Structures are given as structure tokens and as C-alpha cells.
Structure 1
């Protein structure tokens, strides 16, 4: 298997590391999959099965948040703050959203 070495700007490296961590992949495997996607003639998204799981999870959590919000707005607010903190920690929020 050929080996490729190249340099990245620090910001790009950090962003790739966050995305790889969020996908639960080592950086090298994440980058290989991104490169595979770049040459895929069908332009499929590499992580499509994870997107389906994410979409289902968002729907379930939305229903749950609505129910909790009706019963206890304070509990919902606390849970949302904790969720934002966790997402920011994993690099899944933009800088403005993480504040």
C-alpha cells in the first residue's frame, strides 16, 4: 500500500481530529474515507448509515425534550445546557453556539 505524507495547517488538523473523534475513527481511517468519498463517482456520503441513526436519535430526543419541557422547563433548560457543553467539548458546535 502506498504511503502519502503531507502537511496541514493547525486549524485544519484540529478540525479533522474533532470530526474523526466524533465519527469514532482514528484520524488516518477518517482521512482515507474522506478521500474515497472525493473520488466516488456517485458522490455518496461515506457516513450515510450513521446519518440515519443520527436522524432517528434527533427525532426521539425532540419528542422527549418536548415532553420534559411541558412538565419541567427548568429540567429541560439544565439538560440542554449539559448537552451544549458535551457537544462543544467534542467540537460538534461552532464557536458561537458553544458559548
Structure 2
């Protein structure tokens, strides 16, 4: 295997690292897979299956949150607080958001 070294600015590194965590891959594995995508003759998106799973999970969680919110707004608030804390731990909150 060939080894390549290159420099990234801190902001790009942080974004790549967050995406790698989201894909459950090391940063090196994520970058390798992303580079493979650029030379894929079929022009497929390497992580499409994970995106489809994420979209389905978001839809399901939205339905559950709506139902819980109608039945118990306090339980929904507590769940959202816990979810924000977990997202913050993994670096998945957008800039300016906090775990509140």
C-alpha cells in the first residue's frame, strides 16, 4: 500500500473527522473510501446505504417525537436534552448549537 501525506486546515480536518465518526470509520478509512468514490466508474456515492438508513431513522424518530410530544411534552423535552448531549459528545451538533 502506498502512503500519502498531505496537510489540511483545521476546519476541514474537523469536518472530515465528524463525517468519519458518523460513518463509524477511522479518519483514514473514511478518506480512503471518499477517494475511491472519485475514481468509481459508476459514479456511485460510497456511503449511500448509510444515508438511506439515516433518512429512515430520522423519519421514524420524527414520528415518535411527535407522538411523545403530544402525550408528554416534559418527556419529549428530557429526551431532546439527552439527545443533544449525545450529539455534542460525538461532535455532531452544528456550529453555535450546544447541549443545553
The TM-score range, normalised by the shorter chain, is 0.7 to 0.9
Deviation at 1:15, TM superposition (A): 2.0
Matched, 1:85 2:76: no
Deviation at 1:11, TM superposition (A): 2.2
Q: 1:79 to 1:30 in 2, by over 3 A?
A: same
Q: Secondary structure at the match of 2:24?
A: coil
Aligned twin of 2:27: 27
Q: Secondary structure at the match of 1:97?
A: coil
Deviation at 1:41, TM superposition (A): 4.2
Aligned twin of 1:37: 37
> Which of the two has greater helix per residue?
1
**Where do 5+ consecutive residues of structure 2 fail to align?**
none
Q: What is the CA RMSD across the aligned residues, in angstroms? A: 1.7
Aligned twin of 1:61: 61
C-alpha separation between the residues in 2 aligned to 1:97 and 1:38? 32
TM-score in terms of structure 1 length:
0.85
C-alpha separation between the residues in 2 aligned to 1:98 and 1:69? 21
Matched, 1:97 2:97: yes
C-alpha separation between the residues in 2 aligned to 1:45 and 1:32? 13
Deviation >4 Å, runs of 4+: none
In the comparison of the two structures, how many residue pairs are matched? 99
Deviation at 1:97, TM superposition (A): 3.0
C-alpha separation between the residues in 2 aligned to 1:59 and 1:9? 35
**Where do 5+ consecutive residues of structure 1 fail to align?**
none
